[in-house]
Structure 1
């Protein structure tokens, strides 16, 4: 009976944490200051629960970083031209999210991230969802097939843009895909996944970070429906990070998708 109650309490805590994190990201992007006050009161109440304290501190640090990131992009660089430069500086400003999370790691004497190591390419994952599926394959094989599927999906749009467009945009493609994928993966599958895995376990940590990863794309001009697609991508990135014990496969996968998005005209046209 006690074990059942404990499990129920843990699940409720994890669900509450997922909603708190997701709602914070929505509020920060929609500038609802009244809702922010309500969120702050809820976070303050949860802070008195010892099992939630570190999560609240980590989420607050992330919120501060996201606010700084949003302020920089709405006040400092919004009028810059050309569009490519504006996008690159927007991605570089993700550093403002990393700084408060780094401070949390230093204060609590925790490693910067758990997944900063060589990937275990031979680790078995399940197909099609990495953590669940009907077939087993190696991380290296799964990643190769996934990237090939992505290429096939984007190829009609790339071909439609033509070779001249590729010649014009290739430099931006390289810079954007490297900066964006590395910084985003450090934040979501590096720092946040590490902190939340320590607190919630791998599966819940993947869910929470994936929701956040998807929702934050609203500030980049995507619809809420589009954010759900990025959430799905976050689930795959998080799962392959946990199974390979490294962010490198997710960085490679993320980088390839970013490059394809640029070549297809989805990022800058």
Structure 2
């Protein structure tokens, strides 16, 4: 319960920067549009449909986490179910709204898109370092932040990034990385 309450405190990391943006009459792009799941994501010469990109990402994460989850006690699966759902939803939604909704949107208006993506992704990774994740894992999380940012910008929606983040959080809870 303590972990869930701490994650709910992320709410203030959404409200305070959003209020600041409003105070200075800057717009915040919440990326709340429904994505076109069939729309391709184009990066340079590469093109992949959003749905296929998410499917590949989800499957690859399931494969990676499977080996960690298989080593865990099976009786924990059902006892962690409600915690896993609540934690993963709260964490994925709040962190994506903070880092991709508020921060990325604010930095996009003040600097270049590349700078905004890099800075929010590094900040995202450092946040995880500050809550006890090892440096290497925090750097990997920064890399995931780049993927989430590009996915958000290319689809003009937070929903694909939230789905991707949700799957990773579920894998991290059941593999024992969280708790």
TM-score (norm 2): 0.93
Alignment of 1:70-109 (within 5 A): 85-109=1-25
Indicate the SS of the match to 2:80: helix
More helix by share: 1
User: C-alpha root-mean-square deviation of aligned residues, in Å?
Assistant: 1.5
Alignment of 1:210-221 (within 5 A): 210-221=121-132
1:184 aligns with 2:95: yes
TM-fit CA distance, 1:235: 0.5
Q: How many residues were matched structurally? A: 179
Alignment of 1:88-167 (within 5 A): 88-126=4-42, 131-132=43-44, 135-167=46-78
Aligned partner of 2:133 in structure 1 is 222
TM-fit CA distance, 1:249: 0.4
Aligned partner of 1:172 in structure 2 is 83
Answer yes or no: is the 8 Å Cα contact 2:28–2:106 preserved in 1. Answer: no
Aligned partner of 2:116 in structure 1 is 205
Aligned partner of 2:157 in structure 1 is 246
> Whole-Å Cα distance in 2 between the matches of residues 267 and 113 of structure 1?
30
TM-fit CA distance, 1:114: 4.2
TM-fit CA distance, 1:113: 2.4
TM-score (norm 1): 0.63
TM-fit CA distance, 1:102: 1.5
Indicate the SS of the match to 1:161: coil
> Whole-Å Cα distance in 1 between the matches of residues 51 and 83 of structure 2?
28
Deviation above 4 Å: which 4+ runs of structure 1?
Answer: none
Q: Over residues 61-88 of structure 1, what are the superposed CA-to-partner deviations in whole Å (9 max), with x where a residue is unaligned?
A: xxxxxxxxxxxxxxxxxxxxxxxx1211
> Whole-Å Cα distance in 2 between the matches of residues 157 and 102 of structure 1?
38
> Whole-Å Cα distance in 1 between the matches of residues 97 and 175 of structure 2?
25
> Whole-Å Cα distance in 2 between the matches of residues 162 and 98 of structure 1?
36
Indicate the SS of the match to 2:48: strand
TM-fit CA distance, 1:203: 2.1
In structure 2, stretches of 5+ residues that fail to align are none
Which of these two proteins has the greater Rg computed from alpha carbons? 1
Answer yes or no: is the 8 Å Cα contact 1:121–1:139 preserved in 2. Answer: yes
